[in-house]
């Protein structure tokens, strides 16, 4: 894109680049092994994947034994496979988003090398790898990094296909169709809609619509169908209401609705992007290509077209996600690769040829690394939201087949930590909650139960069931730490966030445990991606 030279230590010798990249990847994988599951997201999605492995049901993602169709299953297939090979652990689950983050970096490097220079490609890849997007987002268990990697890969593939010549490069286009299929299988319609939106605007602006007619439509759509459609067909046959729930309530409903969590103003995403790519954000305004004779005579030259693509990519996706009331930081992950390329171009304009340019680069790279380490190991983690302390006691004392009840909340991470092989029986006033529950854990469970009413009748029970369970030995009860169990339960462990009780069918009940503080408390709203 530009003719600018990079400092010799990086541009003329590829070894420092690969060493930097390997070091940043090692840091990412190390950080991924050093913290417990974050709640609710990591607890929810890691457990769904573990349950898929334990149950052997690879068709239906399940939360607490009930079908969970907020998202398609590709993330869980990959995480369950990782756990099958490496064992059940948070690190095994986090290996999938880490691999997706690495894919995003490699794709950026390969694409930038084709449309620019090797020096710019290396710089852009290192900026992406030395960012909060890579070092923090790449170790977080949810769908965002995986779908972002497929969206970015799809856009790069189609871009390179269109820039190939008078006719699009057929195999790159087919690979683009495959990436869109995997994006659809990861997080639904945005896996197709976002690449389509970016490419539609870019092709319109650069007047390349004639090339669209020459895409390998038959083989491309066949590739898409073979990868994406089997699960939707098979799952739709087993659960007739799946498509309307997944595409209607969970996608169109979330996009257009006003009752979901995480409302923010229009300022939110620009601020998120500035933080995600710090400190490289400051170089983006200097990314304008130098005006060569070629660029002056051909305003739609290759360099101009690619830079235009980057800005359209950023603007289209930011605008798309700014329209809904609910906003989440992870939605901006697909935007980071083009910003990293623009930042690399800006660095070349500002810092190329400077005596200590590489030293400044190394120093600036320490900033996101330090932030990632602080977020992982620092006091910001909230142990009060975790259930590992009571989970360890439960594992040590419970026998196979003994029921576990939860009242007043749902401990997302406990089934994963305790390696439970049967669902937790969740006690609430479910009929009342159907008309009152917001965007929270309770709605997650009773909407999941609607797909299998018989299973829901066993797993989602009424508060009166606790009195019956207390009369039988070998039953366990979890409540939030500020709740008390009803008569018949004795305290086993007072944890930081949860109390663990065991049924006590014989003997008097301590007065301090008389009365239940309400099983419908602690139903606060939570993040819903």
Q: What is the mean pLDDT of residues 76-96?
A: 96
Question: Is residue 289 scored above 60 in pLDDT?
Answer: no
Q: What is the pLDDT of residues 450-480, one digit of tens each?
A: 999 999 999 999 999 999 999 888 999 999 9
Q: What is the pLDDT of residues 29-59, one digit of tens each?
A: 999 998 888 888 999 999 999 999 999 999 9
Lowest mean pLDDT segment, chosen from 73-77, 85-89, 351-355, 421-425: 351-355
Q: 290 or 189, which is more confident?
A: 189
Q: Looking at residue 258, what is its pLDDT?
A: 61
Burial (CB count within 10 angstroms: exposed 0-12, middle 13-18, buried 19+), residue 219: middle
Burial (CB count within 10 angstroms: exposed 0-12, middle 13-18, buried 19+), residue 431: exposed
Q: Looking at residue 174, what is its pLDDT?
A: 97
d(CA 195, CA 65): 34
Instruction: For the chain, give the percent of residues with pLDDT over 70.
Output: 87
Q: Indicate the helix (H) or strand (E) that contains 503.
A: strand 498-503
Q: What is the mean pLDDT of residues 370-397?
A: 77
Instruction: For the chain, give the percent of residues with pLDDT over 90.
Output: 58
Lowest mean pLDDT segment, chosen from 7-21, 123-137, 216-230, 393-407: 7-21
Q: Could you tell me if 417 and 50 are in contact, meaning their C-beta atoms sit under 8 angstroms apart?
A: no
Tell me the whole-structure pTM to 2 decimals.
Answer: 0.89
Question: Is residue 521 scored above 90 in pLDDT?
Answer: no
d(CA 395, CA 143): 29
Question: Is residue 20 scored above 70 in pLDDT?
Answer: yes
Q: Could you tell me if 102 and 25 are in contact, meaning their C-beta atoms sit under 8 angstroms apart?
A: yes
Lowest mean pLDDT segment, chosen from 251-255, 315-319, 392-396: 251-255
Burial (CB count within 10 angstroms: exposed 0-12, middle 13-18, buried 19+), residue 254: middle
Phi, psi of 366 (to 5 degrees): -70, -25
Strands 460-461 and 404-407: unpaired
Q: Looking at residue 301, what is its pLDDT?
A: 67
Q: Work out the pLDDT band at 264, boundaries 50, 70, 90.
A: confident
d(CA 19, CA 31): 18
Q: What is the pLDDT of residues 127-180, one digit of tens each?
A: 999 998 899 999 999 999 999 999 999 999 999 999 988 889 999 999 999 999
Query: What is the DSSP track for 213-232?
Result: TTS-HHHHHHHHHHHHHHHH
Question: Is residue 295 scored above 70 in pLDDT?
Answer: no
Question: Within 10 A of 173 (CB to CB), how many other CB atoms are there?
Answer: 25
217: left (phi over 0), alpha (psi -120 to 50) or beta: alpha
List C-alpha distances in Å: 58 to 55, 147, 329: 8, 20, 30
Lowest mean pLDDT segment, chosen from 96-100, 331-335, 437-441: 437-441
Q: Could you tell me if 143 and 45 are in contact, meaning their C-beta atoms sit under 8 angstroms apart?
A: yes
Q: Looking at residue 516, what is its pLDDT?
A: 40
List C-alpha distances in Å: 163 to 1, 126, 214, 223: 13, 25, 13, 22
Q: 262 or 360, which is more confident?
A: 360
Q: Which residues pair with 460 in a beta bridge?
A: 426
Q: Could you tell me if 313 and 340 are in contact, meaning their C-beta atoms sit under 8 angstroms apart?
A: no
The tokens for 234 are 């098979």
Question: Length of the chain, please?
Answer: 529
Question: Is residue 294 scored above 50 in pLDDT?
Answer: no
Q: What is the mean pLDDT of residues 500-519?
A: 57
Query: What is the DSSP track for 180-205?
Result: HHHHHHHHTTHHHHHHHHHHHHHHHH
Which residue in this structure is represented by tokens 């769904």?
A: 48
d(CA 278, CA 362): 14
Q: Work out the pLDDT band at 260, boundaries 50, 70, 90.
A: low
d(CA 28, CA 35): 12
Question: Which sign does the torsion angle of CA 223, 226, 227, 228 carry?
Answer: positive
Q: Which of 91, 100, 159 is nearest to 306 (CA)?
A: 159
Q: Which of 394, 404, 397 is nearest to 427 (CA)?
A: 404
Query: What is the DSSP track for 418-456?
Result: HT-SS--EEES-HHHHHHH--SBHHHHHHHHHTT-HHHH
């Amino acid at each position: 894109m530009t003719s600018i030279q990079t400092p010799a230590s990086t541009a003329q010798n590829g070894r420092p680049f690969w060493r930097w990249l390997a070091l940043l990847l090692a840091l990412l994988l190390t950080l991924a092994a050093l913290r417990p599951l974050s709640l609710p997201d990591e607890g929810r999605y890691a457990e769904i994947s573990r349950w898929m492995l334990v149950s052997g049901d690879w068709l239906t993602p399940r939360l607490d034994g009930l079908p969970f169709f907020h998202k398609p299953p590709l993330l869980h297939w990959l995480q369950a496979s990782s756990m099958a090979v490496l064992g059940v652990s948070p690190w095994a689950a986090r290996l999938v988003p880490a691999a997706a983050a690495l894919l995003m970096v490699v794709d950026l490097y390969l694409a930038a090398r084709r449309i620019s220079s090797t020096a710019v490609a290396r710089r852009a890849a290192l900026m992406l790898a030395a960012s909060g997007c890579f070092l923090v987002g790449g170790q977080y268990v949810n769908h965002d990094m995986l779908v972002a990697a497929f969206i970015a890969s799809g856009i790069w593939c189609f871009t390179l296909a269109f820039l190939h010549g008078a006719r699009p490069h057929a195999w790159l286009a087919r690979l683009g169709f495959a990436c869109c299929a995997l994006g659809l299988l990861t997080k639904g319609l945005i896996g197709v809609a976002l690449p389509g939106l970016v490419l539609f605007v870019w092709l319109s602006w650069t007047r390349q619509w004639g090339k669209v007619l020459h895409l390998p439509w038959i083989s491309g759509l066949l590739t898409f169908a073979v990868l994406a459609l089997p699960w939707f067909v098979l799952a739709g046959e087993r659960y007739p209401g799946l498509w309307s729930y997944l595409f209607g309530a969970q996608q169109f409903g979330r996009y257009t609705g006003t009752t979901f969590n995480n409302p923010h103003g229009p300022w939110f995403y620009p601020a998120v992007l500035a933080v995600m790519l710090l400190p490289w954000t400051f170089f983006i305004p200097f990314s304008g290509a130098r005006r060569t004779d070629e660029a002056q005579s051909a305003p739609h030259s290759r360099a101009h077209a690619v830079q235009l693509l980057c800005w359209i990519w950023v603007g289209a996706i930011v605008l798309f996600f700014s329209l809904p009331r609910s906003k989440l930081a992870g939605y901006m992950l697909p935007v980071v690769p083009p910003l990293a390329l623009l930042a690399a171009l800006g660095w070349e304009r500002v810092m190329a040829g400077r005596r200590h340019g590489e030293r400044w680069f190394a120093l600036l790279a320490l900033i996101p690394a330090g932030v990632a380490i602080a977020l992982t190991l620092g006091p910001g983690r909230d142990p009060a939201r975790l259930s590992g302390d009571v989970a360890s006691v439960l594992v040590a004392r419970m026998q196979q087949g003994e029921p576990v009840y939860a009242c007043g909340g749902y401990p997302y991470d406990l089934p994963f930590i305790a390696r439970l092989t049967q669902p937790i029986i969740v006690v609430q006033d479910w009929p009342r909650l159907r008309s009152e529950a917001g965007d929270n854990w309770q709605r997650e469970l009773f909407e999941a139960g609607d797909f299998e009413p018989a299973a829901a009748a066993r797993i989602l029970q009424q508060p009166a069931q606790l009195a019956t369970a207390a009369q039988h030995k070998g039953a366990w009860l979890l409540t939030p730490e500020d709740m008390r169990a009803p008569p018949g339960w004795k305290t086993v462990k007072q944890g930081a966030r949860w109390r663990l009780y065991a049924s006590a069918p014989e003997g008097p009940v301590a007065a301090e445990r008389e009365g239940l503080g309400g099983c419908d408390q602690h139903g606060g709203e939570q993040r819903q991606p």
